[in-house]
Amino acid sequence: MATPEGYDPAVWRRMSEELALPGIHIPEEYGGAGFGAVELGIVMEEMGRALLCAPYFSTAVLAANAIMNAGTDADKSALLPDIANGARLATLAITEPDGSWDPASIKVVATPDADGYRLDGVKSFVVDGHIANLLIVAARMPGTAGLQGLALFAVDANARGVERRLLESMDPTRKIARIDFRGAHAKLLGSLDTGATPILRTLDQAAIALANEMVGGAQTMLDSAVSYSKLRVQFGRPIGSFQALKHKLADMLLEVELAKSAAYYAAQAAAVDDPEWPALASLAKAAASETYLHSAAECIQIHGGIGFTWDNDTHLWFKRAKSSELFLGQPSYHRELLMQRWGV
Query: CB-wise, 35 or 242, nearer to another protein?
Result: 242
246 binds another protein (CB under 8 A): yes
Query: CB-wise, 4 or 237, nearer to another protein?
Result: 237
335 binds another protein (CB under 8 A): yes
125 binds another protein (CB under 8 A): no
301 binds another protein (CB under 8 A): no
Bridge partners (DSSP) listed for residue 299: none
Amino acid making up residue 306: I
Radius of gyration of the chain (CA): 21
When binding is defined by CB under 8 A, the residue of 229, 295, 314, 323 that contacts another protein is 229
226 binds another protein (CB under 8 A): yes
Tell the burial category of 337 from Cβ atoms under 10 Å away from its Cβ (0-12, 13-18, 19+).
buried
272 binds another protein (CB under 8 A): no
Query: CB-wise, 89 or 239, nearer to another protein?
Result: 239
When binding is defined by CB under 8 A, the residue of 84, 90, 245, 281 that contacts another protein is 245
Region from 94-102, 125-133, 204-212, 260-268 binding another protein, contact rule CB under 8 A: 260-268
When binding is defined by CB under 8 A, the residue of 108, 259, 267, 271 that contacts another protein is 259
Contact at 8 Å (CB) between 288 and 262?
Answer: yes
SS3 category, 90: strand
Shortest CB 265 distance to another protein, Å: 5
CA gap 24, 116 in Å, rounded: 31
When binding is defined by CB under 8 A, the residue of 111, 169, 261, 309 that contacts another protein is 261
254 binds another protein (CB under 8 A): yes
Shortest CB 65 distance to another protein, Å: 24
DSSP string, 19-51: T--TTTTS-GGGTS----HHHHHHHHHHHHHHT
CA gap 136, 156 in Å, rounded: 9
Shortest CB 162 distance to another protein, Å: 39
Distances in Å between the Cα of 125 and the Cα atoms of 32, 152, 210, 213, 252 are: 28, 17, 15, 19, 30
User: Kindly report the CA angle at 191 between 194 and 87, in degrees rounded to 5?
Assistant: 105
Bridge partners (DSSP) listed for residue 155: 135
Query: CB-wise, 190 or 278, nearer to another protein?
Result: 278
Amino acid making up residue 333: Y
Residues 6+ away with beta carbon under 8 Å from 235? none
User: Site residues (CB under 8 A) for another protein?
Assistant: 226, 229-230, 237-238, 240-241, 243, 245-247, 249-251, 253-254, 257-262, 264-265, 283, 286-287, 332, 335-336, 338-339, 342, 344
